[in-house]
Structure 1
């Protein structure tokens, strides 16, 4: 049942509609209406006093205009109407004088008007009970919506307080204090620990491994936590072996390798594998470790080192990367930057360079040995990052990464096989246990640090600002259920096939894990076993059936053949569009592609992130 406020809005809307209608008539007779007393029937007693019908003298104007001009003249007394006696505050309850309108009520048009609105208030007792329930539900929904809005857009408490003050006039159930609305934590204990401040939110799944395990870190001779080899000091600790004996959980529990341990782990009684249950972090190990080191060697290694790139090569590669910015899919927040800015690159930029833009930007610029060596890393990490390839090509990826580590010392020097480079040979075993690399990487934690930073509005006492904001988010878990497919940007520009000329057309669609549109960078997909460009998105009026109008390529070739054919990974070099439109259901899209220009063609790589 509709709530009281819904009924009131409907009634006001009707009044406004009639006011607009009668505004076209001459207002010459508006002051001729006199005051009458009307005997109110028992049914009319239910009409709320706050109704716009009896709100003020403007109601008489409505009635007089709706009635026939001649009839109005017959019913109007010579006595003039005193407007001040009828002026009321529409927000007040039970304080409206009943207006004398008995003769005007007899007019046909007015009867229709009132009869149309009378059903909003003439309800039995059961309906009244239902209305009270509806009001409670409506109030609860408003509170939840306000909480979600305030936390989602990080509304300051000062602004939210002013808003609540305005809303409280019309919705007295709303609190005036934003802390009450958001259930903000007001008391908390911050402890002084190790020269800093500490507050316990709960157990974190990412804790510094060497500290928790009580073992030597990566700079120690026995710093590798996956194998038993002793490191070699070459100005820095290196781990050149690729076939050393692996550590086991039992050996760790028994502390057989005393040089590896610095004490007893507080987790030793938890019956968890202290070797197998501590996976390597792909974000720091590969993206910020190996990839950043390789780029650094290209840019800043000694001149006598043959791996250093010349200025012209660096410029060409940087120009290529920058030119790809407009082709970056929406899933990537950061666009390509010049190689000269690599020291400011974030981990996601190194990942993007390794898995998508690097193989294309470096093509023809590195010598054959260095490029093929980079491709070993690219294919190995790509396989371990893919949901499907991590199952079918896991061992193959392990073999490639071992060859990469062995060749690393030949190309870049024996002193460069440090902990990060060495641990590439252990990544595949963690993928076998935990799934694709991104399923146990630090990327989610790093992303959350950005959210914590947004909660800090002043430089002082950051922890005291974060704790209340987190309590508001945790206390107000508003689940907004969005449709699975959100179609946006309605248009009529085509192209269309004959069968679908009466369908609604859209330029973009938001799926649960991917965004597809007709625009460059987001319009390349795999559909019906072919790589295609999305030309239009159409649907039925109810949006239950969505279809993709697309165009495929005539030529699909391998982009590279070493260390394997790129088509085995779903990577192709494309050219020459067919020029013929095809239509398929949205459900037939297998994946989205990262499509980049390459000479006179395009290179497409299945999107993993």
Structure 2
């Protein structure tokens, strides 16, 4: 076992905030207890007909189908529980204990609070010690492990290079079945595998196996869960040994299914999402610097001594097939036989799509901007004064970026954002490619460079869109291929790296998966940092990770799934003209609202979140007020003006209107529209021309 002598310490600010938060909890609990002389006992939980045994589910292959009514005891002695009613926002990745009123039960409130805010056990122990001295709270447990139902044992397996802990797929499927939501008879499993560095001195890494059921959405969210995790000084020594328990369990459920209420629920491996190094590791093929490293085609790379990289000038090579892959026909590609060949009905070529996050955003877009700002120095690099102009234009657009974006350009965080492109996150690179870059780079970079960037933006927008026709997919494939060709002519063929070459294969993946918006690593990357925070020291990290995960499962608290974000209704937001009367026309009456959260989007009366598209008419509307409908007070109206003049922003390589992108100006008179008629949110970016025009871009993700 590898242990780190360097412990992850909390800062003074974090400790101070935890003390303040603990004091607030104590005050709330004290007020709650003073209203009644005794604490209500925790309601008795209705036992289900089975107790889950993780190891038996994986190893007992001879017992036939996995029946939910026949399981041995689980090592941590936790029984799955259900209730007669289920919340619509149930987190199906947790074994949920349902209570009628969590706020009235101090134990439940405390455990949920501690897990949501990652309170260390030592801090929670001090709080419990104090709370037990208060009237009516002496029944609280003395120890945080009792309160949080922390497992006492964790099964750790030593493998080559480190240690592995397997949580399993069975429990996630059973939790899903117990949730009461409608599920298909075949669940589609998407798996993400990547490494996560924990410490640098000494070096240590975490390699979790994450999954989600692609054909199950709860409140339009795909919930990610952990299947297993590896910890060691570096990546696992043998990918087959690392994946063995996962593959064995997946094979059993795929072939035999899980029996529940006279139904047999089966599993299908839908996709494996990895970046290039992780994909090469699990498939046992050459890395991305190899001359024959493309997993999709047999195109040969050329080694450039000048640039010390392998480049791929051939864009018309024959494609590989699943049969040729499992038969190891290309000896220059394979380093061995991967255990993934044992997964039933899993195509190792087409079911391992290129990840648009790593290939396009982190790979291609970052490379383009780096070449423009001179890192590395290139003959297409821009002069310093033009880079400063681009920085100012990008920061100026920050106030027009909708709330759905996690990061916005801001001179307070990055005075020179383009020079810091090496530190950009994938969301910032996506924002630049699909939205702000269309405005910022126009008339600054040369026409051939801008048109090349535009081809990439158009092609990526098409492959990200759902339900794209065959003709549009073919066009996306052609335009992305043309982007790669022109990229080689503009910057040099030696810059067509593995990532640039992979762009030509993305349209095929989009056709297979009906768009790549949901088949990408974003959902898995968002789950990685919370896992890292669960490891608070270098002592027994896998045990820490597993026990924090089990605590959250028992309390139905998953920090990656925040229910308050999906609550539909009015929201408060900053309104700069709060002393100005907002327009009320037609059937609009009081009460008025400054914001409203819908199922898939939020609108607010600010510069960034007030532009929408109307469902039936296709009008682009700027919202000036949100009010109640006089004819039916249970309905909400939006008051605003629609753009009367709309033209194409670009006509080459295609008309922007085909993508729903317009240059708009001249607002019409005030009108009202039902809130439910909003079909799409629009990103509105000012163009600062003499017409005060704006660029309207449909929000894509």
TM-score (norm 2): 0.63
User: What is the Cα-based RMSD across aligned positions, in Å?
Assistant: 3.2
Match of 1:537 in 2: 626
Moved more, 329-338 or 410-419: 329-338
Moved more, 224-233 or 536-545: 536-545
Match of 2:682 in 1: 593
Deviation digits for residues 66-109 of structure 1 (CA, Å, limit 9, x no counterpart): xxxxxxxxxxxxxxxxxxxxxxxx9499xxxxxxxxxxxxxxxx
Asked whether 1:520 is paired with 2:594, we answer no
In the alignment, the residues of structure 2 paired with residue 234 and residue 480 of structure 1 have an alpha-carbon distance, to the nearest angstrom, of: 49
Where does 1:241-320 land on structure 2 (aligned, <5 Å)? Answer: 241-271=314-344, 272-300=346-374, 305-320=378-393
In the alignment, the residues of structure 2 paired with residue 502 and residue 247 of structure 1 have an alpha-carbon distance, to the nearest angstrom, of: 63
Cα–Cα, structure 1 residues 501 and 539, in superposed 2: closer, same or farther, change >3 Å? closer
Residue 225 (structure 1) shift: 0.5
Deviation digits for residues 511-546 of structure 1 (CA, Å, limit 9, x no counterpart): 232221011111111124111111111236997312
In structure 2, which of residues 425, 430, 447 is the aligned counterpart of residue 368 of structure 1?
A: 447
Where does 1:360-399 land on structure 2 (aligned, <5 Å)? Answer: 360-389=439-468, 393-399=472-478
In structure 1, which of residues 157, 163, 175 is the aligned counterpart of residue 141 of structure 2?
A: 175
In structure 1, which of residues 584, 588, 604 is the aligned counterpart of residue 696 of structure 2?
A: 604
Please identify which structure carries the higher helix content: 1
Residue 212 (structure 1) shift: 2.1
Cα–Cα, structure 1 residues 184 and 494, in superposed 2: closer, same or farther, change >3 Å? farther
Residue 280 (structure 1) shift: 0.7
Deviation digits for residues 324-344 of structure 1 (CA, Å, limit 9, x no counterpart): 111111111111252111111
In structure 2, which of residues 597, 600, 616 is the aligned counterpart of residue 510 of structure 1?
A: 597
Contact 1:390–1:431 under 8 Å retained in 2: no
Asked whether 1:220 is paired with 2:220, we answer no
Cα–Cα, structure 1 residues 513 and 392, in superposed 2: closer, same or farther, change >3 Å? farther
Match of 2:673 in 1: 584
Deviation digits for residues 229-278 of structure 1 (CA, Å, limit 9, x no counterpart): 22122232111111110111111122222222111111222232111111
Residue 199 (structure 1) shift: 3.0
In the alignment, the residues of structure 1 paired with residue 587 and residue 653 of structure 2 have an alpha-carbon distance, to the nearest angstrom, of: 45
- SS across alignment from 2:531: helix
- SS across alignment from 1:218: coil
In structure 2, which of residues 541, 544, 550 is the aligned counterpart of residue 471 of structure 1?
A: 550
- SS across alignment from 2:433: helix
Residue 438 (structure 1) shift: 2.6
Match of 2:66 in 1: none
Deviation digits for residues 320-372 of structure 1 (CA, Å, limit 9, x no counterpart): 11111111111111112521111111111111111111111000011111111
In the alignment, the residues of structure 1 paired with residue 592 and residue 126 of structure 2 have an alpha-carbon distance, to the nearest angstrom, of: 42
Match of 1:148 in 2: 112
Cα–Cα, structure 1 residues 460 and 593, in superposed 2: closer, same or farther, change >3 Å? farther
- SS across alignment from 1:573: strand
- SS across alignment from 1:175: coil
Any stretches of 5+ residues in structure 2 without a counterpart? Answer: 1-30, 40-98, 170-189, 194-277
Residue 452 (structure 1) shift: 2.2
Contact 1:390–1:435 under 8 Å retained in 2: no
Residue 158 (structure 1) shift: 4.1
Contact 1:507–1:517 under 8 Å retained in 2: yes
Deviation digits for residues 438-486 of structure 1 (CA, Å, limit 9, x no counterpart): 3111111211122223334456655444333222112212699767522
Residue 561 (structure 1) shift: 1.1
Cα–Cα, structure 1 residues 434 and 139, in superposed 2: closer, same or farther, change >3 Å? closer
Q: How many residues align?
A: 481
Where does 1:195-206 land on structure 2 (aligned, <5 Å)? Answer: 195-202=161-168, 205-206=191-192
Cα–Cα, structure 1 residues 481 and 307, in superposed 2: closer, same or farther, change >3 Å? closer
In the alignment, the residues of structure 2 paired with residue 380 and residue 480 of structure 1 have an alpha-carbon distance, to the nearest angstrom, of: 33
Match of 2:528 in 1: 449
Match of 1:488 in 2: 571
Match of 2:502 in 1: 423
Cα–Cα, structure 1 residues 543 and 234, in superposed 2: closer, same or farther, change >3 Å? farther
Cα–Cα, structure 1 residues 184 and 500, in superposed 2: closer, same or farther, change >3 Å? farther
Deviation digits for residues 21-70 of structure 1 (CA, Å, limit 9, x no counterpart): xxxxxxxxxxxxxxxxxxxxxxxxxxxxx999xxxxxxxxxxxxxxxxxx
Residue 495 (structure 1) shift: 2.3
Match of 2:648 in 1: 558
- SS across alignment from 1:603: strand
Contact 1:494–1:505 under 8 Å retained in 2: no
- SS across alignment from 1:439: coil
Where does 1:132-143 land on structure 2 (aligned, <5 Å)? Answer: 142=105, 143=107
Any stretches of 5+ residues in structure 1 without a counterpart? Answer: 1-11, 14-49, 53-89, 94-135
Higher relative contact order (CA 8 A, sep 6+): 2
Cα–Cα, structure 1 residues 604 and 140, in superposed 2: closer, same or farther, change >3 Å? closer
Please identify which structure carries the higher strand content: 2
